[in-house]
Amino acid sequence: MPRQAPQGTQAVQRALALLRSFTPEAPEHRLSELAAAHGLHPSTAHRLLGVLEAEGLIGRSPESQAYRWLPGAPGTGVAGSSPRHNGLRPLEPLRTPFHRRTSALCESDAWRDWSGYTCAETYEPTPEREYWAVRNAAALIDVSPLFKYEIAGADAERLLDRVMTRDFSKCRTGRVMYTSWCTEDGHLLQDGNVQRLERERFLVSAAEPCLRWFEDCGWGMDVDVRDVSEEIGVLALQGPRARAIAEAATTGIDFGAMRYFDLAAGEIGAGGGGGPVTVTRTGYTGDLGYEFWVAAEHAEALWDALVEAGRDHGLLPAGLLALDMARAEAGLVLIDVDYVSAADAEIEVLKVTPAEAGLGFTVKLDKQADFVGRRALELERDRGPAWAMVGLEVDWFELERLWSEIDLRPQVVGQPACREPTPVFAPGGWQVGQCTTRFFSPLLKKYIGLATVRGEAADLGTELDVEVAVGYGRRRARARVVERPFFNPPRKTAVDPMAGVNG
Amino acid sequence: MTMEPAAADGIGSGTPSRGGGRFDAIVVGAGHNGLVAAAYLARAGLDVVVLESSPEIGGATRSEEAFPGFRFSVFSYLVSLLRPEVIHELDLVRHGLFLVPTASTLNPLPGGDCLFREADPQRTYRHIVRHSRRDAEALFEYKLEMRRMGHLMYRLQRAAPDELAAAIGDRVAESPEHLDVDVSAEVADIARYFLDLPAARLRTFAQMLTMSSADFLGQWFESDVLKAALSSSSIIGSMLSPRTPGSAYVLLHHYMGEVDGVYREWGFQKGGTGAVAATIARAARSHGAEIRTDSPVARVLARDGRTAGVVLANGDELRAGVVLSSAAPQISLGRLLDPEDVPGDAGAGLVERAARWQSGGCAGKVNLAISGLPRFECMPEPGPHLSGGITIAPGLDYVDRAYDEAKYGGFSERPFIDMIIPSVLDPDMAPPGKHVLSCFVQYAPYELAAGDWDDGKREAFGDSVVRTLAEYAPGIEDQILHRQVLVPPDIEAIAGIPGGNIFHGELRLSQLFLLRPDPAAAAFRTPLPGYYLCGSSTQFGGGISGGPARLAALRVLDDLRGVESAAGGGGETP
């Protein structure tokens, strides 16, 4: 005889009772059977089972539509499950907190795995409109699969200053810092953003797991490192209309006062009430933009508020292909694509220093604190980096020349950024590096690439040859070392990015 | 009426210099071609001035805020023909070129049906299958052949017509040692390419020069709605029906455009087409060209059988040994040039022929400011189809009837409409949530059988457009906040194109290649040494192309080099 439940918790009690009905011995039940066994009205049972199913605690038989036991789901008697590993069950893709919204819009059904999550590559069959939305209106991108770590405690700043190459004694509360972190021998592990939420509380976002690294580096410190990856959903709102939309979708934030890499807390919804949200003026597109950090339970409210506010501003949901095109134009490097983390580099030659990955500006050798990799990076400063990350540009006439050999116009446009590394040569000579991201920018009307080349080949204006596919053949195209970012609109950092925008 | 962005850039301050001056070259007209010519000449180091008669630059390439907060591309509305060499040699991206692709074409049909063509050919196949399985398959073959035709035209556009004709003529005669025109290796290569084309390709080319587009398309397709949809490009800007012989060439003209090497792509310039003119003007000024608005030119000045400059309408004289006119031949040859100035008898008949140039306008433009997105019966919700072209041409008979009405001197009661929604492609074109609708409409003849184009007729024409739209997008009549109706006499008055023909003259075989705009002035040179043509009425014709102006400017530079190298006389070959 169950205890009488206090007011308001009856539904929880009923749901748990339903959940306990699913066991390896009795794995499958029909709705009518469960309703009868638990003395529930079928519609109540249906509602509760729907929640259990949506939460991934039970499944549904595709043939009979009966509800099914899921091996390893919490509450069903098999222990040892975690959100990233579901016990004995074959690993299923994780869903971001926005998945119900994104999946309803993903007409292309083109999903890609990102750290175990399913993310839309495109929403429409081709990424063009999503890409142009970033540059011409605004795009909404689900970047929740980022790993997120909350670092809190009296020694939080001390830990960050010990791990990171940037100087966190100079990171005020309400600011975000983009930084690198390295191994003891100065090799780059990752790059990422660090938000200073409070004096003693930071949020690190990273592409790969780093809980153990931070904990080990903080050994003996008064600091708590917590993986909050699954608890926080992240949306990037990027494009010239981002501010107008952000303002209409939130309350309590003075977007006019937000500078590039500022952080602010507010409420979701034009009149508030949608739940708390943290907004950073950051992004991975090189455009005006904001990132919204929200507790998973308020994620859908945030999505809805932004979509509603964006309706009149040409906002489109954008997938990872459009994001990748934009970040290439912004000249932003990507881990595992443009550089190999020292944590993954099986051989020495793959490892790079921050400077060699184009992130030298994140290394602050003048900072007070000692940090992991400092001595090695000081030596590198004296010696000079062996490699350099450069922007390469192949002009239109060179493309015309190459394709005219097979009597075609250049076949370069409409292709997403290519991540297959190809060699870079001294003109007509030996290999001096590799090009790791490249694509034809329809905005700049140039073929652009990010390449790691020998330090001596890195000066602006240096001519290099890159290998490009022309039909079935491979040809060397003459490229020039140019400044990164390839595209850098003033609105990205402008104090009043509304200037010149209607409304 | 606020024009922009020309004024915003400080180009065309409206305070032209009243004094004279001496320049290396004078360009008449600040439309896109005049500006391209000026940019090339200035880039080569010449001291160049552009003289524009109206208060604004752009010609038919202009935007304006005709209603507060709403920007219209007044006349031309999409870009495809703009030559890549013009874009890259003049570095137009740096100066503001920003082309957003229009990826799809929707043809709404009566009864809530439609024909939809998307960027993805396989999806398009599935749309067409609903109308004809054979046609859906044939579309692949047709597009392939048209890409080859586009590529053929790409080659032809790289050469001046006289050089190409000479090179082809000599190839045909198989007597290359008798070349009487010195052609470059590239031109010789193009001639060889042309003559080595497979017979099937040459046949298609000949068909495109002569056939009606309906017959041409009939070789592939059975579906009337698809034929009507595809034939849209064959009548744009032309007083032709899809059933008129010669309309297939206009089709070809619209397939030779490209965006970044992809034929048949179209782009919308952010800010409207006026921003294209502003971009080219910026490029020209970056090389030192001067642009004067409110400076109508009365005539070309000649001394001793050579060009000596121009005389402005106010009597001022500007001196230059080179003058280029981007205006239509009625102006360039018929008005600015005095045949008496032309040496020998080369000027004989020039004025008379210019007067007979076929350039009656046939199209109007209806620009609407609307309170919300139109809801097309076939696809009422917002979606990708609204960022593409939308064409009302539900059948060949429909278009033919619309043409018939104009043939007899009326405007179409149920017109052909080619529209885009610029504010979907560029949210800066209208206030948030509001939109602008650009409707290119046929047919509206320059001359009506009964009376002149007065406000009443203009509005009646506008009404027929709105009524037609409402058949496919019910309720649109209640969304209209402002309506701008422009008919050929308006194009003539504002853009300065006689007759209001958007191509500066019909694109038909009698007015193409060595006949464009006149046998005596077909290769950018006129019979008066030093006086050149560089506008849409020269080889390759209209559209926001810049191609004619580039070739004209290169010819000017060649001729100047010829003058320099021919020490002690000789001069250029006219």
Q: What is the pLDDT of residue A133?
A: 98
| Residue A346: HSE in the Cβ half-sphere, 13 Å Cα cutoff | 0
| Distance of alpha carbon A503 from alpha carbon B12, whole angstroms | 28
DSSP string, A6-51: PTT-HHHHHHHHHHHT--SSS-EE-HHHHHHHHT--HHHHHHHHHH
Whether residue B569 has pLDDT greater than 50: no
**In this complex, is the C-beta atom of B260 within 8 Å of any C-beta atom belonging to chain A?**
yes
End-to-end alpha carbon distance in chain B: 44
**In this complex, is the C-beta atom of B100 within 8 Å of any C-beta atom belonging to chain A?**
yes
Q: What is the pLDDT of residue A503?
A: 33
Report whether A71 contacts A80 (CB < 8 A).
no
The minimal CB distance from A413 to the residues B85, B260, B426 is found for B260
Q: What is the pLDDT of residue B7?
A: 34
| Distance of alpha carbon A434 from alpha carbon B134, whole angstroms | 48
Task: Find, in chain B, the residue whose alpha carbon is nearest to that of A444.
Answer: B93
Beta bridge partners of B118: none
User: Which of B70, B100, B256 should one mutate to test binding to chain A, selecting the residue with the greatest count of A CBs within 10 A?
Assistant: B100
> In B324-454, which residue ranges form alpha helices assigned H by DSSP?
329-332, 350-355, 396-407, 422-425
Those of residues 106-135 in A touching chain B at CB distance below 8 A are 124-126, 128-129, 132
Q: What is the pLDDT of residue B59?
A: 94
| Distance of alpha carbon B285 from alpha carbon B262, whole angstroms | 30
For residue A485, is the peptide bond before it cis, meaning its omega torsion is within 30 degrees of 0?
yes
Q: Is residue B123 part of a domain?
A: no
Those of residues 81-100 in A touching chain B at CB distance below 8 A are none
- Backbone phi, psi, residue A404, to 5°: -65, -20
| Distance of alpha carbon B143 from alpha carbon B148, whole angstroms | 9
Those of residues 367-406 in A touching chain B at CB distance below 8 A are 395-397, 399-400, 403
Report whether A195 contacts A264 (CB < 8 A).
no
CATH number of residue B315's parent domain: 3.50.50.60
Determine, for residues B431 and A396 on separate chains, whether the beta-carbon distance falls below 8 Å: no
For the ranges A5-14, B43-52, B145-154, B407-416, the lowest mean pLDDT is seen at A5-14
Q: Which token pair is B153?
A: 């035209």
Grade residue A73 by pLDDT with cuts at 50, 70 and 90. Answer: low
CATH number of residue B371's parent domain: 3.30.519
Contacts of B119 in chain A (CB under 8 A): 125-126, 128, 414
For the stretch B320-358, what's the b/e string if a residue is b when 16 or more beta carbons lie within 10 angstroms of its beta carbon?
bbbbbbbbbbbbbbbbbbebebbeeeebeebbebbeebe
Grade residue A498 by pLDDT with cuts at 50, 70 and 90. Answer: low
Q: What is the dihedral of CA B197, B202, B208, B210, to 10 degrees?
A: 150
| Residue B436 shares a structural domain with residue B339 | no
Task: Find, in chain B, the residue whose alpha carbon is nearest to that of A501.
Answer: B428
- Backbone phi, psi, residue A153, to 5°: 130, 170
The residues near A310 (Cβ < 8 Å, ≥ 6 apart) are A138, A140, A237, A241, A245, A249
**In this complex, is the C-beta atom of B427 within 8 Å of any C-beta atom belonging to chain A?**
yes
| Distance of alpha carbon A172 from alpha carbon A167, whole angstroms | 11
Report the percentage of chain B scoring pLDDT > 90. 85
Task: Find, in chain B, the residue whose alpha carbon is nearest to that of A312.
Answer: B433
Whether residue A451 has pLDDT greater than 60: yes
**In this complex, is the C-beta atom of B387 within 8 Å of any C-beta atom belonging to chain A?**
yes
Q: Which residue, of B430, B455, B486, is where some domain finishes? A: B486
Residue in A352, A368, A348 with CA at minimum distance from that of residue A360: A352
Q: What is the pLDDT of residue A70?
A: 77
Element containing residue A216 per DSSP (H, E):
helix A211-217
DSSP string, B197-245: S-HHHHHHHHHHHHS-HHHHHHTT---HHHHHHHHGGGTTTSS--TTST
| Residue B296 shares a structural domain with residue B200 | no
Grade residue A74 by pLDDT with cuts at 50, 70 and 90. Answer: low
Whether residue B13 has pLDDT greater than 70: no
Whether residue B236 has pLDDT greater than 90: yes
Q: Which residue, of B431, B462, B486, is where some domain finishes? A: B486
Q: What is the pLDDT of residue A42?
A: 81
The minimal CB distance from B384 to the residues A129, A137, A409 is found for A129
Instruction: Report how many domains make up chain B.
Output: 3
Whether residue A262 has pLDDT greater than 80: yes
- 3 state DSSP class of B265: coil
| Distance of alpha carbon A19 from alpha carbon A207, whole angstroms | 35
Report whether B189 contacts B361 (CB < 8 A).
no
Contacts of B84 in chain A (CB under 8 A): 396, 400
Q: Which token pair is B9?
A: 């850039």
The minimal CB distance from B103 to the residues A128, A314, A445 is found for A128
In total, the C-beta contacts within 8 angstroms joining chain A to chain B are 84
Report the percentage of chain A scoring pLDDT > 90. 79
Whether residue B568 has pLDDT greater than 60: no
State the smallest CA–CA distance between residue B306 and chain A in angstroms.
Answer: 37
| Distance of alpha carbon B444 from alpha carbon B428, whole angstroms | 30
DSSP string, A233-255: EEEEEESTTHHHHHHHHEES--G
For the ranges A7-21, B132-146, B253-267, B431-445, the lowest mean pLDDT is seen at A7-21
| Distance of alpha carbon A428 from alpha carbon A449, whole angstroms | 19
> In A346-475, which residue ranges form alpha helices assigned H by DSSP?
374-383, 396-404
Q: What is the pLDDT of residue A78?
A: 39
Whether residue A483 has pLDDT greater than 80: yes
Neighbour tally for A41: CB within 10 Å? 9
Which residue has tokens 């390896």?
A: A24
Q: Is residue B81 part of a domain?
A: yes
For the ranges A20-29, A373-382, B47-56, the lowest mean pLDDT is seen at A20-29
Report whether B49 contacts B316 (CB < 8 A).
no
Q: What is the pLDDT of residue A8?
A: 60
CATH of A147-227, one of 3.30.1330.10, 3.30.470.20, 3.30.70.1400, 3.60.15.10: 3.30.70.1400
What is the mean predicted confidence (pLDDT) over B244-263? Answer: 94
Domain boundaries, chain A: 10-69, 99-145+231-318, 147-227, 348-352+386-482
- Backbone phi, psi, residue A391, to 5°: -95, 135
Positive or negative, the CA dihedral B403, B404, B406, B411 is negative
Q: What is the pLDDT of residue A278?
A: 98
Which residue has tokens 């991108």?
A: A141
Neighbour tally for A401: CB within 10 Å? 14
The CATH topology of domain A10-69 is: Arc Repressor Mutant, subunit A (1.10.10)
The minimal CB distance from B384 to the residues A124, A408, A440 is found for A124
For the stretch B123-157, what's the b/e string if a residue is b when 16 or more beta carbons lie within 10 angstroms of its beta carbon?
ebbebbeebbeebbebbeebbebbbbbbbbbbbbb
pLDDT, averaged across chain A:
91
pLDDT, averaged across chain B:
92
pLDDT digits (tens, 9 = 90+) for B76-110: 999 999 999 999 999 999 999 999 999 899 999 99
For the ranges B161-170, B296-305, B446-455, B561-570, the lowest mean pLDDT is seen at B561-570
The residues near A270 (Cβ < 8 Å, ≥ 6 apart) are A248, A249, A250, A251, A305, A309
Query: For residue B317, what is the DSSP state?
Result: E
| Distance of alpha carbon B416 from alpha carbon B389, whole angstroms | 13
Determine, for residues A396 and B432 on separate chains, whether the beta-carbon distance falls below 8 Å: no
Q: What is the pLDDT of residue A41?
A: 83
Whether residue A180 has pLDDT greater than 80: yes
**In this complex, is the C-beta atom of B425 within 8 Å of any C-beta atom belonging to chain A?**
yes
pLDDT digits (tens, 9 = 90+) for A316-326: 999 999 999 99
Q: Does domain A348-352+386-482 have CATH number 3.60.20.10?
A: no
| Residue B379 shares a structural domain with residue B470 | yes
The minimal CB distance from A445 to the residues B260, B262, B427 is found for B260
Report the percentage of chain B scoring pLDDT > 70. 93
Q: What is the pLDDT of residue B565?
A: 67
Give the CATH superfamily of A99-145+231-318: Probable tRNA modification gtpase trme; domain 1 (3.30.1360.120)
Contacts of A413 in chain B (CB under 8 A): 259-262
User: Which of B98, B123, B196, B260 should one mutate to test binding to chain A, selecting the residue with the greatest count of A CBs within 10 A?
Assistant: B260
Report whether B236 contacts B418 (CB < 8 A).
yes
Tell me which of A500 and A268 has the higher pLDDT: A268
| Distance of alpha carbon B231 from alpha carbon B153, whole angstroms | 19
Report whether A480 contacts A391 (CB < 8 A).
no
Task: Find, in chain B, the residue whose alpha carbon is nearest to that of A395.
Answer: B88
Q: What is the pLDDT of residue A81?
A: 39
End-to-end alpha carbon distance in chain A: 63
CB burial class (10 A; 0-12, 13-18, 19+) of residue B10?
Answer: exposed
| Distance of alpha carbon B59 from alpha carbon B62, whole angstroms | 6
Q: Which token pair is B252?
A: 């070809």
Q: Is residue B158 part of a domain?
A: yes
pLDDT digits (tens, 9 = 90+) for A79-93: 333 445 445 566 778
Report whether B364 contacts B487 (CB < 8 A).
yes
| Residue B381 shares a structural domain with residue B334 | no
Contacts of A502 in chain B (CB under 8 A): 69, 427-428, 430-432
pLDDT digits (tens, 9 = 90+) for A237-261: 999 999 999 999 999 999 999 999 9
User: Which of A106, A109, A130, A312 should one mutate to test binding to chain B, selecting the residue with the greatest count of B CBs within 10 A?
Assistant: A312
Q: What is the pLDDT of residue A197?
A: 98
Q: Maximum CA pair distance of chain A?
A: 85
Grade residue A7 by pLDDT with cuts at 50, 70 and 90. Answer: low
What is the mean predicted confidence (pLDDT) over B192-218? Answer: 95
State the smallest CA–CA distance between residue B516 and chain A in angstroms.
Answer: 27
Whether residue A18 has pLDDT greater than 90: no
User: Could you check whether A147-227 and A348-352+386-482 share the same CATH topology?
Assistant: no
**In this complex, is the C-beta atom of B196 within 8 Å of any C-beta atom belonging to chain A?**
no
Q: What is the pLDDT of residue A37?
A: 81
- Backbone phi, psi, residue B366, to 5°: -120, 115
pLDDT digits (tens, 9 = 90+) for A21-69: 887 777 888 888 888 888 888 888 888 888 888 888 888 877 777 888 7
For the ranges A35-39, A293-297, B35-39, B330-334, the lowest mean pLDDT is seen at A35-39
Q: Which token pair is A48?
A: 């509760």
pLDDT digits (tens, 9 = 90+) for B464-487: 999 999 999 999 999 999 999 999
pLDDT digits (tens, 9 = 90+) for A385-396: 999 999 999 999
| Residue B481 shares a structural domain with residue B554 | no
Q: What is the pLDDT of residue A91?
A: 73
Determine, for residues A403 and B384 on separate chains, whether the beta-carbon distance falls below 8 Å: no
For A83-92, the CB contacts below 8 A with 24+ separation are: A83/A230, A84/A116, A84/A230, A91/A116
**In this complex, is the C-beta atom of A491 within 8 Å of any C-beta atom belonging to chain B?**
no
| Residue B373 shares a structural domain with residue B473 | yes
State the smallest CA–CA distance between residue B36 and chain A in angstroms.
Answer: 19
- 3 state DSSP class of B100: strand
Beta strands in B223-362 (DSSP E): 258-259, 262-263, 267-269, 290-292, 297-303, 306-312, 317-319, 322-325
Give the residue numbers spanning the domain of B182. Answer: 137-222+235-256
Report whether B505 contacts B498 (CB < 8 A).
no
Determine, for residues A445 and B384 on separate chains, whether the beta-carbon distance falls below 8 Å: no
